[in-house]
């Protein structure tokens, strides 16, 4: 089978141990773990197939800003924390690219985002035999034998609309996050989410815009403001956010422990109020915060312009967009300054929402299979420590979820524990689910004792 062609309809025929849905860094790391396992244990191979809707590997391509750097140490790459001897490490990638010495001289833990993308592509190419691109999973169906769900059929379609079914004993869902826009936003060529930035910026530059507006105060919002300020040398860049100023990300060493593998144990075992408390204390390691260097860079730009008198970077702090209207010529955004209630309507060539992401609704993807999955009081899936969804007793097939923040904490949707997480998932798949006493949800006490 080649990686260019979707497998034929294999229901009842070919059965995979793992069918992975999505092939971003999370399932790429899993494919590498499977590859390494199969090399080490040729007598007991795990057969895995990953389905990815993009035509080729791509990691947030729309945000591959030239000078943006990673916000995680390169040591938290696809493998090192699981297997420091792996030849899929970032250091081995550098060796292959003949840049190891230069990188060391650079004295940084934080490579360029474009470089890490190249690293991901390099790794993805080495496990291409496990992946089918141009395969968007639309639903999952149960395969029932004598009242038990023994397998799952994963339904995928390609760009030409051809539908195929792939059967697995386990599925691993790693479909990432979905861009979040305000409820009243109407996306268009002028109004878009920041995840489209690099696909839009050249076209925007060609129109020689006079003003663009960026909504949001997090890392992406600050990156977009800086990038547009550089790429559109004649445009005014308005940055609108409710905070008084961009807030720095806490990447201090004690706080960083919230991203350690051990913190996942603590978070998963904690009662709901403690989980909420930890999440609130440490949101500022990741959410609505900006790297200090970038804050200082933006401040320096604004200050330089206040000296020269040609103010292009217009920071509208303590403000919010209350109303927008689009015409053929422009988008009009009404901005309210919150302390006084004063409003001003700005005519803009583009309005960029850097307003974050939603978690993907796994139940929508699971379709009828969602009915056998347990839900917590908020209707979210109950995800055991081994990332397996808790299901009805007639369910033999495993559903694993990567990216579940409510159950596994802040690190779940980030790269920090990816390498370790996929090792745990692979181990669980091999033993057929959780044999150990699982803590009852939110109690930290094994269910049997609760
Ligand atoms: C601009 C940006 C920068 C970031 N930088 C960092 C960083 O420096 N450090 C860090 O720790 N985290 C960072 N993150 C967080 C980011 O979520 C993780 O880095 C990482 O992308 C998570 O990997 P993933 O594979 O779980 O999800 P994703 O990378 O989102 O990959 C999901 C994949 O699933 C595919 N997919 C979705 N639905 C389907 C479907 N139905 N069928 C088939 N395929 C599907 C998508 O096409 C995609 O390829 C960043 C996020 C963004 C947006």
Q: Which atom of ligand 1 is nearest to the CA of 413?
A: 17
**Does 398 contact ligand 1 (Cβ within 6 A)?**
no
Q: Which atom of ligand 1 is nearest to the CA of 365?
A: 41
**Does 73 contact ligand 1 (Cβ within 6 A)?**
no
Residue 167 forms beta bridges with which residues?
Answer: 15, 153
On the CB side of 75, CA atoms within 13 Å amount to 5
Please state the rounded mean pLDDT for residues 356-380: 94
The Cα 245–Cα 296 span in angstroms is 12
Q: Which atom of ligand 1 is nearest to the CA of 59?
A: 29
**Does 60 contact ligand 1 (Cβ within 6 A)?**
yes
Cα of 25 vs centre of ligand 1, distance in Å, is: 7
Cα of 120 vs centre of ligand 1, distance in Å, is: 12
- 83-126 pLDDT, tens digit per residue, is 999 999 999 999 999 999 999 999 999 999 999 999 999 999 99
Report the nearest-CA residue for atom 1 of ligand 1.
63
Cα of 413 vs centre of ligand 1, distance in Å, is: 8
The Cα 258–Cα 264 span in angstroms is 8
- 332-343 pLDDT, tens digit per residue, is 999 999 999 999
**Does 172 contact ligand 1 (Cβ within 6 A)?**
no
Residue 240 forms beta bridges with which residues?
Answer: 215, 316
Residue 15 forms beta bridges with which residues?
Answer: 167
Give the residue range(s) of CATH 3.50.50.60 domains in the chain: 15-176+360-449, 179-249+287-357
Q: Provide the pLDDT confidence category of residue 12 given band limits of 50, 70 and 90.
A: very low
Q: Which atom of ligand 1 is nearest to the CA of 177?
A: 30
Contacts of 371 (CB under 8 A, 6+ apart): none
- 378-434 pLDDT, tens digit per residue, is 999 999 999 999 999 999 999 999 999 999 999 999 999 999 999 999 999 999 876
Q: The domain 179-249+287-357: what is its CATH number?
A: 3.50.50.60
For 403, the token pair is 């990216």
Kindly calculate the radius of gyration of the chain based on its CA atoms and give it in whole angstroms: 23
Cα of 58 vs centre of ligand 1, distance in Å, is: 9
Question: Beta strands of 293-408 (E only): which ranges?
Answer: 313-316, 319-326, 331-337, 342-348, 350-353, 357-359, 398-401
For 240, the token pair is 């609108």
Report the nearest-CA residue for atom 45 of ligand 1.
22
| Crossing angle (nearest 10°) for helices 418-431 and 25-40 | 50
Contacts of 434 (CB under 8 A, 6+ apart): 384, 385, 386, 388, 428
The Cα 236–Cα 312 span in angstroms is 4
Map residue 93 onto helix, strand or coil: helix
In 3D, which of 235, 236, 226, 237 has the Cα closest to residue 205? 235
**Does 402 contact ligand 1 (Cβ within 6 A)?**
yes
Output the average pLDDT for the chain. Answer: 93
Map residue 151 onto helix, strand or coil: strand
CA 249, 254, 258, 261 dihedral sign is: positive
C-alpha separations of 19 from 23, 130, 428 in Å: 11, 10, 14
The class of domain 15-176+360-449 in CATH terms is alpha beta
Cα of 176 vs centre of ligand 1, distance in Å, is: 5
Instruction: Report percent pLDDT > 90 for the chain.
Output: 91
On the CB side of 286, CA atoms within 13 Å amount to 22
This prediction's pTM: 0.94
Cα of 338 vs centre of ligand 1, distance in Å, is: 34
- Phi then psi for 26, rounded to 5 degrees? -65, -55
Q: Are 323 and 344 in contact (CB under 8 A)?
A: no
**Does 111 contact ligand 1 (Cβ within 6 A)?**
no
Q: Are 196 and 65 in contact (CB under 8 A)?
A: no
Cα of 446 vs centre of ligand 1, distance in Å, is: 32
Q: Are 89 and 77 in contact (CB under 8 A)?
A: yes
Residue 360: its pLDDT value, please?
Answer: 82
**Does 412 contact ligand 1 (Cβ within 6 A)?**
no
Cα of 403 vs centre of ligand 1, distance in Å, is: 9
**Does 387 contact ligand 1 (Cβ within 6 A)?**
no
Question: Beta strands of 394-437 (E only): which ranges?
Answer: 398-401
In 3D, which of 163, 137, 141, 135 has the Cα closest to residue 12? 141
In 3D, which of 409, 390, 149 has the Cα closest to residue 263? 409
Cα of 100 vs centre of ligand 1, distance in Å, is: 26
Residue 304: its pLDDT value, please?
Answer: 97
């Amino acid at each position: 089978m080649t990686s260019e062609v979707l497998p034929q309809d294999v229901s009842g025929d070919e059965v995979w141990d793992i069918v992975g849905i999505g092939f971003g860094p999370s399932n790429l790391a899993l494919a590498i773990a499977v590859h390494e396992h199969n090399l080490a244990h040729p007598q007991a191979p795990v057969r895995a197939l990953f389905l990815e809707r993009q035509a080729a590997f791509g990691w947030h391509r729309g945000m591959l800003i030239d000078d943006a750097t990673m916000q995680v140490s390169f040591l938290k790459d696809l493998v090192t924390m699981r297997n420091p001897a792996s030849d899929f490490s970032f250091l081995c990638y550098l060796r292959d690219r003949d840049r190891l010495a230069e990188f060391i001289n650079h004295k940084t833990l934080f490579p360029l985002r474009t470089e890490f993308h190249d690293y991901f592509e390099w790794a993805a190419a080495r496990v291409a035999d496990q992946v089918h691109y141009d395969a968007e999973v639309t639903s999952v169906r149960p395969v029932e034998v004598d009242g038990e769900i023994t397998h799952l059929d994963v339904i995928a379609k390609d760009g030409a609309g051809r539908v195929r079914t792939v059967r697995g004993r386990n599925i691993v869902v790693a479909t990432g996050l979905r861009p979040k826009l305000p409820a009243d936003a109407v996306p268009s060529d002028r109004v878009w989410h920041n995840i489209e930035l690099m696909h839009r910026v050249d076209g925007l530059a060609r129109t020689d815009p006079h003003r663009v507006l960026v909504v949001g105060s997090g890392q992406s919002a600050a990156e977009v403001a800086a990038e547009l300020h550089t790429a559109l040398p004649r445009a005014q860049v308005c940055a609108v956010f409710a905070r008084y100023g961009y807030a720095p990300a806490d990447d201090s060493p004690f706080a960083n422990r919230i991203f350690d593998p051990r913190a996942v144990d603590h978070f998963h075992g904690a009662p709901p109020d403690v989980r909420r408390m930890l999440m609130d204390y440490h949101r500022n390691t990741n959410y609505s915060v900006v790297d200090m260097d970038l804050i200082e860079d933006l401040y320096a730009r604004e200050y330089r312009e206040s000296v020269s008198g040609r103010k292009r970077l217009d920071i509208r702090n303590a403000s919010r967009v209350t109303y927008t209207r689009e015409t053929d010529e422009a988008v009009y955004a009404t901005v309210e300054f919150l302390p006084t209630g004063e409003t001003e309507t700005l005519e803009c060539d583009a309005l960029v929402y850097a307003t974050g992401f939603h978690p993907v609704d796994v139940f929508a993807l699971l379709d009828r299979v969602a009915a056998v999955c347990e839900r917590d009081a908020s209707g979210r899936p109950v995800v055991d420590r081994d990332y397996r969804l808790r299901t009805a007793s007639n369910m033999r097939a495993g559903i694993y979820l990567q990216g579940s923040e409510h159950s596994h904490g802040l690190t779940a949707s980030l790269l920090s524990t990816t390498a370790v997480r996929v090792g745990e998932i692979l181990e669980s798949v091999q033993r057929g689910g959780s044999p150990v006493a699982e803590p009852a949800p939110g109690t930290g006490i094994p269910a049997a004792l609760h």
